[in-house]
């Protein structure tokens, strides 16, 4: 993991805050806009995802099997997490929402990486370029395998998976990453 040495001081250097602190620095330097990272999320069950997204809100569309929110680092990018057997899974316990696996916003400048657990943001380690590339390769293979299996096992292909429509399908899967590393070594 890259360290933003010299840019930060005091308790802000703690690893758990590393990702959004670094992101905040970059964004402030570029535009003067100060970002506020989100730690707690609300959720709204909707049919269609609204045009204007509120900060700190997860919009859950079961109709379109998709969850959308603004990046929790505060960079205001829109994060689309499709729900499917090869993408994310949502858990709703009646009060709070969790998404699995973690969300790695590798296509944004912030490269933020976090889990959403019980409507709270848990920050995770930023991935290296190699890890991101390997994760993407693994995702492609996992999807290929899944869709091939589906084609062979069932004729029900009328409903396209949300994953096929998603803008950003990149995210880490630490257990899969270990598997991939093991495969390489």
Contacts with Zn ion by CB under 5 A lie at: 71, 73, 75, 110, 112
* Dist CA 98 CA 114 (whole Å): 12
Nearer to Zn ion, 102 or 112 (CB): 112
Q: Which is nearer to Zn ion, 131 or 143 (CB)?
A: 131
CB 33 → Zn ion: shortest distance, Å?
Answer: 12
32's torsion region: left (phi>0), alpha (psi -120 to 50) or beta?
Answer: left
Shorter beta-carbon distance to Zn ion: residue 75 or 97: 75
CA atoms within 13 A on the CB side of 169: 19
| Residues paired with 83 in a beta bridge | 88
Shortest Å distance, C-beta 65 to Zn ion: 23
Report in angstroms how near the CB of residue 49 gets to Zn ion at its nearest: 18
Provide the token pair at 1: 């993991």
Backbone φ and ψ for 11, nearest 5 degrees, come out as -65, -15
Contact 24, 78 (CB under 8 A): no
Tell me how far, at minimum, the Cβ of 83 lies from Zn ion, in Å: 21
Least gap, CB of 176 to Zn ion (angstroms) = 23
Nearer Cβ to Zn ion (75/103): 75
Name the strand (E) or helix (H) holding 41.
none
**Complex with Zn ion: residue 66 or 105, whichever CB lies closer:** 105
Q: How far is CA 179 from the centre of its chain?
A: 20
């Amino acid at each position: 993991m890259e360290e933003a040495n010299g840019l930060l001081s005091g308790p802000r250097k703690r690893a758990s805050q590393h990702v959004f602190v670094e992101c905040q620095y970059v964004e402030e330097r570029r535009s003067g806009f100060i970002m506020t990272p989100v730690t707690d999320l609300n959720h709204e069950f909707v049919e269609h995802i609204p045009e204007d997204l509120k900060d700190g809100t997860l919009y859950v569309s079961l109709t379109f099997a998709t969850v959308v929110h603004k990046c929790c680092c505060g960079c205001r990018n829109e994060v689309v997490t499709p729900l499917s057997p090869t993408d994310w899974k949502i858990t709703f316990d009646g009060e709070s929402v969790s998404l699995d696996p973690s969300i790695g916003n590798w296509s944004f400048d912030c490269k933020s990486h976090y889990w959403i657990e019980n409507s709270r943001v848990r920050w995770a380690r930023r991935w290296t370029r190699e890890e991101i590339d390997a994760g993407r390769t693994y995702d492609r293979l996992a999807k290929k395998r899944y869709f091939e299996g589906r084609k062979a096992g069932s004729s029900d292909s009328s409903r396209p998976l949300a994953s096929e429509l998603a803008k950003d399908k990149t995210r880490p899967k630490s257990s899969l990453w270990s598997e991939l590393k093991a495969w390489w070594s």
